[in-house]
Amino acid sequence: MIKVEELLKLVRAYNPKTNEDLIRRAYAYGQQAHEGQYRRSGEPYFTHPVEVAAIATEMMLDDATIITALLHDTIEDTGATYTEVAKQFSQEVADMVNGVTKLTNLELNSNETKQSENFRKLFMAMSRDMRVILVKLSDRLHNMRTIRAMKPEKQIQKSRETMDIFAPLAGRMGMQWMREELEDLAFKVLNPEGRNSIIRRFITLERETGSIIGQIQDEILSELAKHDISAEVLGRAKKPYSIWRKMEEKKIGFSRLSDIYGFRVITDSDDECYRILGLIHRRWRSVPGRFKDYISQPKTNGYRSIHTTVLGPDGKRVEVQIRTRQMHEVAESGVAAHWAYRDGRRAENPFAVDPAKWISSLTERFETGDDHDEFLEHVKMEMYADQVFCFTPKGEVIKLPRGATPLDFAYAIHTRIGESCVGAKADGMRVPLWTRLKNGQSIEIITAEGQSPQASWIDIVVTGRAKSAIRRALKFEDRERFIKLGNELARVGFEHVGKKATPRALTTSAKKLGIQDAEELLAQLGSAEITSTTVVHAVYPELISNAPDGVASNRAIVGLSAGQSFKCADCCQPIPGERIVGITYRGRGVIVHSIDCDAMVEFENQTDRWVDLQWHDGLHAAVHRVTLDLTISNDAGVLGRICSLIGEQKANISDLHFIDKKPDYFRLLIDLELRDAEHLHSVMTAIEADTDVATIARYRDLERRP
């Protein structure tokens, strides 16, 4: 296991001003918290967090991230709490540790609906603090390095998850070195024979041809020296998985595979990058269509470099990447370069992308996804796709994923252009709508009035934006049919529980489910996007499922001293599920208030009387009083129906008081005994759905405070 002084030496190498004492304390805290825990390999568990911290030092990350790496499993796997970590170190560290814990608990390999929701949470965590993802990726990398200690079925599950999610995510963040290692480690588990065969072919090739890498390196350096250009040349064979993927994509054998060697030329300025490009093209023949200028057109994650492929010795294709040293740092670290330290201060790299802007550009189109499938489609497209750059007739650049078509181009300009598209021209020549676009092409979209999206377009386009827009258009055409069918399904669903699918009930259900309105609810019901059970449950959950009471009222609160009594404040009537705080009274114990109660203002300068409280976990007894303020129609049977609705929700009426009686309406206060906030919400939703209820609100009165 790496000792604390060895870890500090790694940090000091790039950050001499590191807070050594804080890292030592985090090391000691984590070691003590994990005392007695062991990995499947038999090693002490704390070897894992230390190795994760060491990986973070390779990215030259700040002290807070190193400490988070050391403590990333403490809240999940030990007795440590968020509050304790925040007190011992900082809220920043506690938030990141908590973020890593939440990510660890996501079941990213489950069914697609669940997976898409977990992707949303993943990107939400990234938007809050991307360092959380950097620690999680480091955690996954070390777990993959030591995966052989796991059971075979667990190895396969983790490797697939790594190949599908974590490796592409690392690549999308610009951390190519981590992507390649994650892919190779997963490949070793998922297809060991395939990987071994490629390695054997490499050994045979090197035996037959000698060291091609060293030969080409020398030739490039010699050519640069002739023109007084100073640069570093790095060469290597591509990783086994990268080779395997190309063989699978192109359906060819190893012997027919080209450009299996890659070289990087690292120099000092943009001008020298282009000079070197010219020298390489004069020395070796360039391969048509294999040139990309990511200096003039950077990737969204900050990546800048010139890529070209030339015919090297024996006619073999050789890929050459040309970049400056600052570009190389970003190419190696990606988005992580934003937090990199050098000589004790944050490294100022003009090419390091702002993480907030990057995550915004990555997720801006995800928000338009109407359903889980579309969101997942957007995510995977963004994570896996390379880019092509095409031009409008006016010279504007449009970025698209590789494999995009003129239809994708049209929708990228504007949805209206896409929907009215009838044809396209590429570099002035008419081309089919399914044509795959190439870098640098000028695309002109031909439109016509009256055109509308065709069902076949779904199979032509590749971007999530285009697919989403086409689905919406097609769905709109069938909308009337779906609404009619949804109306019938809703009628049957509500009658099944003895209720009617009134407009008010449907509107309430839509509101509860976060759907725009009752019409959209019926359309989604008719198109099988939601079920009638879901619609009914949103209004009458108690008629769908019931659960027994659990937590007794005398132990509902956690955080009181031994023998300390409590009472819920009458002014705000807090109930389980709401944030609470206690105020001590001499001779009266503790009065419990909602954290947002207006009565708390007068105690702002009496913090010694505040008690940090929370509700006990579990299902509470229905004994917590809440007062509702209702305005209902003054018609026969209305009040009786409201009382029946409350009874159906398994709530008890403890008092009822009329405060205003008019010829056409009554206003009254009803005291209910409820389990928790969710129970309250169910009761209010059921009452609100009744057509004779004009208004309903929770009643709170400061005059009733203690």
Catalytic residue numbers, as ranges: 76-77
Residue labelled with tokens 């010139």: 306
Other beta carbons within 10 Å of 703? 6
Question: 519-544 in b/e burial notation, b at 16+ Cβ within 10 A?
Answer: bebbbbbbbebbebebbbbbbbbbbe
235 Cβ partners below 8 Å, 6+ apart?
213, 214, 216, 217, 261, 262, 263, 264
Among 365, 376, 360, 379, residue whose Cα is nearest residue 415? 365
624, β-bridge pairs: 674
Instruction: Supply φ then ψ for residue 80, to 5 degrees.
Output: -65, 145
Alpha-carbon torsion angle 633, 635, 636, 640, nearest 10: 0
Within 343-417, strands assigned E span 345-346, 387-391, 397-401
Residue 641 CA neighbour count, 13 Å, CB half: 16
Nearest-angstrom CA–CA distance, 348 and 231? 22
Alpha-helical segments (H) within 257-324: 270-283
Alpha-helical segments (H) within 109-253: 112-128, 131-145, 152-161, 167-172, 176-190, 192-209, 212-226, 240-250
Within 19-167, strands assigned E span none
Q: What angle do CA 12, 18, 22 make, to 5 degrees?
A: 120
Nearest-angstrom CA–CA distance, 327 and 349? 9
The terminus-to-terminus CA distance of the chain in angstroms comes to 58
Pairing of β 614-615 and β 589-594? unpaired
Instruction: Supply φ then ψ for residue 346, to 5 degrees.
Output: -60, 125
DSSP string, 613-654: -EEPSSPBPS-EEEEEEEEEE--TTHHHHHHHHHHHTT-EEE
38, β-bridge pairs: 44
Q: What angle do CA 590, 591, 593 make, to 5 degrees?
A: 135
- The answer to whether residues 273 and 306 touch, using CB atoms and an 8 Å cutoff, is yes
Pairing of β 341-342 and β 345-346? antiparallel
Pairing of β 624-633 and β 693-698? antiparallel
DSSP string, 208-226: HH--HHHHHHHHHHHHHHH
509 Cβ partners below 8 Å, 6+ apart?
518, 521, 535, 536, 538, 539, 689
Instruction: Supply φ then ψ for residue 591, to 5 degrees.
Output: -100, 125
446 Cβ partners below 8 Å, 6+ apart?
421, 422, 423, 424, 425
